[in-house]
Structure 1
């Protein structure tokens, strides 16, 4: 690929990523509301679960580690779990099917008032959709992180944050921005007196 074409590709990708991030400003009221509901769930002694496939699995794990360890503030850990344990995933998928690998865990562990963050760039990943259905059935607060038109999860989940983009990579970049915002807002609400590390 000629050098000029490489630079053009890089600049176009960065410009598009920036456009998507700026478009997320429209979701600010939704992000604030969702973060408040998650903080309320933690305050009431509930837990958060998260799931997704591929890059969205990594985003689910990223969300959980920020909550269990810390995002910015020195504070107690928050009870969050990803549904991505390799032994559980491979056991259930091998013995039964991959399509119910998350819903099985939600049915087993989620309790009324818990939070399920279901991440799918299309909003249509069958195993993530089934997890959302199981979360609703268990009385959990279901939050869909999606893109494009929101897919099935937009109507299925109690709350949805839909990144206004078509390309998977741009949607995932939007998701991690939303995850960081949620973590910051939850920390600020639950631990207003905690200090930021030097």
Structure 2
């Protein structure tokens, strides 16, 4: 039975990677090019994740800040998801939806990209963050389950993950972050 579960998980992950990334290879390359241009023009990559994807957002930002494949200068990426004081203050005041948007208003500029990682659940804080990012003139990107109802906002780059499995979605999101960093490093540093 366990071997069957393992085999199914591997098959699901392989199918997710093929349908979500091979089929969107050109869009992913275009987005990586936009990140490179943003960095070259002094902008930043601001990464937001809800639920368990908050930790993945933090890891992705750290891949850009520290390194993935080679020793190199830090790249300007930040994760917005670890301000417990702000979170508890907003919860206390019934303003959970403002968690990311308040942070964006204090630091985001029109030269930045806001990358949202969604677990597929309707989350007013993500909807609000995307609306504020648009108001500020930021480019926006969304990685979410294919049928997720996240926002009515226009998204510059959308990457649907074709899975209903939460574990596979988290793994696919992490793969996306590693691949994005690899593509950006390759373009910036010739590897």
Using structure 2 for the length normalisation, give the TM-score.
0.91
Aligned: 1:10 with 2:6: yes
Unaligned segments of structure 2, at least 5 residues: none
Contact 2:126 2:150 in 1 (8 A): no
User: What is the aligned partner in structure 2 of residue 25 from structure 1?
Assistant: 22
1:76-155 aligned at under 5 Å gives the runs: 76-84=73-81, 85-122=83-120, 124-153=122-151
User: What is the aligned partner in structure 1 of residue 71 from structure 2?
Assistant: 74
Aligned: 1:62 with 2:59: yes
Unaligned segments of structure 1, at least 5 residues: 194-198
User: What is the aligned partner in structure 1 of residue 174 from structure 2?
Assistant: 176
Indicate the SS of the match to 2:78. strand
Separation of aligned partners in 1, 2:112 and 2:16:
30
Indicate the SS of the match to 1:156. coil
User: What is the aligned partner in structure 2 of residue 196 from structure 1?
Assistant: none
Separation of aligned partners in 2, 1:189 and 1:155:
30
- Alpha-carbon distance, 1:143 to partner: 0.7
Change (3 A) 1:125 1:176: same
Separation of aligned partners in 1, 2:128 and 2:190:
36
Find the partner of 1:34 among 26, 31, 36: 31
What is the aligned-residue RMSD (CA, Å)? 1.8
Contact 1:144 1:153 in 2 (8 A): no
Separation of aligned partners in 2, 1:125 and 1:169:
19
- Alpha-carbon distance, 1:7 to partner: 2.5
Indicate the SS of the match to 2:115. strand
Contact 1:51 1:102 in 2 (8 A): yes
Contact 1:123 1:129 in 2 (8 A): no
Contact 2:130 2:153 in 1 (8 A): no
User: What is the aligned partner in structure 1 of residue 163 from structure 2?
Assistant: 165
Structure showing greater Rg: 1
- Alpha-carbon distance, 1:50 to partner: 1.1
